[in-house]
Amino acid sequence: MGQAWNRVLTVGGDHVDTPEGSYPEDGDGGTLEMSYQPTACQHCENAPCVKVCPVNATFTREDGIVEIDYDKCIGCRYCMAACPYNARVFNWEDPQHVPEEGTGDVEERPQGVVEKCTFCSHRVEEGLDPSCVVNCPADARIFGDFDDENSTVSKYVAEYDTHQLLDDKGTDPKTYYIQGEMSPGRPWKGKELEEELDEEPTAEEPADVTGDESVSGAAANPTGGDD
């Protein structure tokens, strides 16, 4: 039932939570190594999925988020072949949800279309961090605006050793992986959680609802469920 938008990959052995290398028997050093790589859509500046889509269903929003217009998607899956991060999944079946109607937070993705992480654009638009950020028990994720030099995310990328996945491919992801002995503290502190939102849709708040064609295109569907 689940369509994985974000997978925490074990980098190591052939199974989840197992290392590669040799066990340090009898006091020898051993070579075991394991780490985790949370892998979701990297929201590339130069996104191969956007380029190959024959019907422009995959597009880059003005704010940089790469999204899919499920109405336009014809299920050809060129984008899946083009994505070097394996970030996309195809809906082979009719979607199933618990509860049946889903959360209604994000658009329904029907059978036959490709889907992937949206950076929780539906939350970002309301000033919320993506769900993966607010729910990370280790506070290992930071979300913010790279255009703002003073944002936490900008400071971290400036201060620590960071890299982008497969940077030699020239995709220029907007996701950075930070190395080093650090913890981002409590990124959620002082941030709004969803429960603090107004109960009514915030029509008066957004600056520009209709100005961007691609966004309004993505907004054409009635609500559906997420997984």
Partner 1 sequence: MTDDELTASRRDILKTGAVAGVGLGGGSGVLSTLQPADESGEAVDQVTSFLGEDQVVKTACGPNCRGDCPLDVFVRDGQIKKTEQQVPAASEFKRGCTLGISHVQRAYNAKRLKYPMKRASWSPDDPQPGARGEDAQFERISWSEALDLVAEQIQTTKGEYGPESVYWHAGSGSQGTSGYGRLKQLVGGIQDSFVYGIDTNVGQGFNRITGEGGVFMPPTNTVEDWANADTLIIWGSDIFASQFQMDAEWILDAKRNGAKLVVVDPMYTNTAEKADLWLPIRPGKDTHLALAMMNYIFENEVYDDTFLRQRTNAPALVRVDDGTLFDPTRVSDNPPDGGIVVMNEETSEPNVVGAETGGPFALFGEWTIDGVAVRTGLAALREQASEYQPADVAEVAGLSVADIKTAADWLATRGAGGILPAYSVGRYLYGHVFGQAYATLMALTGDYGRHGNVHAQHPSYGGPSLQTGDWGNPEGGVSLDTYGYQEILSLLENGDPVQPRFLYGTNSNMLGNQFPNRERWLNAMESLDTIVWADMYHTPTTQQADIILPAAHWFETEDVLGSDHHPNIRYREQAHEPLWEARDDYYIMAGIAERLGHGDKFPDDKREVLDRFVQNDDRLSWEQLRENGTVETDETPTVAYTDAFGTESGRITVYDDDAPTEKGPGLPDEGISLEVPEPLEARTADDWEAQNEYPLVFMQKHSKWRIHSQWANVPWLREVNREPQLDIHPKDAEQRDISDGEYVLVHNDRGSMVVRAKYNEGIQPGLVNTDQGWWAEDFVEGHYQDPISAETADVGRTFAFYDCRVEVERAAEEYQSNQYTQDNPRGTAGSASGGD
Residues 89-148 that bind partner 1 (CB under 8 A): 96, 98-99, 101-107, 119, 122-127, 130-131, 133-135, 137-147
Contacts with partner 1, 199-218, as mask; x by CB under 8 A:
xxxxx-xxxxx--x--xx-x
Region 1-40 residues binding partner 1, contact defined as CB under 8 A: 1-2, 4, 7-30, 32-35, 37-39
CA distances from 185 to 35, 141, 158 (A): 20, 10, 17
> 61: which residues sit within 8 A by CB, 6+ positions away?
67, 121, 212, 214, 215, 218
> 221: which residues sit within 8 A by CB, 6+ positions away?
70, 71, 107, 108
Contact 74, 168 (CB under 8 A): no
Min CB(95)–partner 1 separation in Å: 11
Q: Compare residues 54 and 185 and give the one whose CB is closer to partner 1.
A: 185
Q: Compare residues 54 and 85 and give the one whose CB is closer to partner 1.
A: 85
Q: How far apart are CA 203 and CA 70, in angstroms?
A: 24
Min CB(148)–partner 1 separation in Å: 9
Region 156-175 residues binding partner 1, contact defined as CB under 8 A: 156-157, 162-163, 165-166, 174-175
